[in-house]
Amino acid sequence: MGLSRIFNIKPYNSRILNIFIGYLPKPLRRSNSSIQGPAIALDQAEANILLRKHNNNVPVIRSLLKVLEQNPENEEIKKRLEFELKKLPNKTHNRIRDYGEEGREIYNNLLTSTKSKSFSDVCKFFNLLRVEHLGHFTGHKSYYLMGDLATLEQSVIRYTISFLKENNFRLISVPDVLPSYIINGCGMQTEGDRTQVYKVDSGECLSGTSEMALAGLFSDQVINESDLPLKVAAVSRCFRAETSGLNEEKGIYRVHQFTKVEMFALCSENSSETLLESFRDAEVSLYKRLNLQFRVIDMPPVELGASAFQKYDIEAWMPGREMWGEISSCSNCTDYQSKRLNIRYRTRTGELRYVHTVNGTAAAIPRLLISLIESNKIKNEIICIPEQLGKTIRRNMVVPAIKLIKHFKI
């Protein structure tokens, strides 16, 4: 049975049909009524899932299609099929298909390696961070940034925003509470035992990244091709329900909520790979200015989230922890999000097509603070920071010393 007969090409279902057709080889996409279409698309989708080592739901989809062959008007089965089709991950860039489970380093900003105290030790000495004795009122993995560390956080945010504006990003303030369909449409599942999403009693969810709110802003819209690429940025709190108990991720390296400056863009279907490279180059330029030692990793299929076609991670060397820690990433999501959220553009010839979306992390607090403090020198009880950040705090280049206070109370 052809897909067009199963879904009847109603407006409600046409996006779901397009998700399915996307897995077909291009010569077969226009003939989606072909009886071979569903089988070929499912074979392609399953091979892609196995390559990424995601949960394989293709057997479930096959079973639902068999039921619909017998009863094409079964609306309940159609809804279940729609739900399963939306869970299929994006396709994978051909360049990375043979990477196995290891990414490939494509850039390294080598600096002179120095010994350093850990972020937690420095903050304890200067009394800049509180993570202990909070469980009775804020819960696990909570933290308070104090004094000049809180000031440094705001300085990093302001500097990053200024940098993005110079690179033609438009700043948008976004909501942190979103409906589940927006979050699902961006590739993060809101159901299941291992979901990272917090839910509130009304059924809405706390956003895991402002990428979700920015994508939702453009849902059900048609944008003129002449207005693309459309680049926006946001500062928001990000909420993640799942944390790690690994020793190397102790402290505030992985937490339930944090502040992040996010980059997001809509573009035409032929320009997303180029736009991803520009996002990566912007991140590299920013972290060079902040005097960080870091490397760029072209990530393998097993490290891609559901929405990503390809992704770069940026890891900073954290000498106090003696480890590389992820501080940023950027992803090309092609039409994964736009098909689920119905974001289209009108070409210069009047044709409607789905936009491609690209996202990237410009500054993730507190990991960027960890990198900054562990990478910069401490002399005479003074933390030296990059000149650009010093200018946003005060006229000099340092955070003045703060005497150790053993019993600090507010």
Determine the pLDDT at residue 253.
87
- Fold of domain 95-394: BirA Bifunctional Protein; domain 2 (3.30.930)
Low-confidence ranges of the chain (pLDDT < 50): 1, 8-12, 32-33, 395-410
Determine the pLDDT at residue 135.
73
For the chain, give every domain's residue range: 19-24+38-88, 95-394
Q: How far apart are CA 153 and CA 392, in angstroms?
A: 11
Report CA-CA distances (Å) from 202 to 178, 280, 336: 11, 38, 27
Q: How far apart are CA 283 and CA 280, in angstroms?
A: 5
Determine the pLDDT at residue 389.
81
Determine the pLDDT at residue 341.
95
H-run or E-run covering 230: strand 230-239
Q: How far apart are CA 233 and CA 230, in angstroms?
A: 10
**Listed residue (373, 316, 311) closest to 336, CA to CA:** 311
Task: Give the three-state DSSP class for 77.
Answer: helix
Determine the pLDDT at residue 397.
40
Residue bearing tokens 């989606």: 32
Q: How far apart are CA 48 and CA 170, in angstroms?
A: 35
DSSP labels, 111-165: --------HHHHHHHHT-EE-SS-TTTT-TT--EE-HHHHHHHHHHHHHHHHHHH
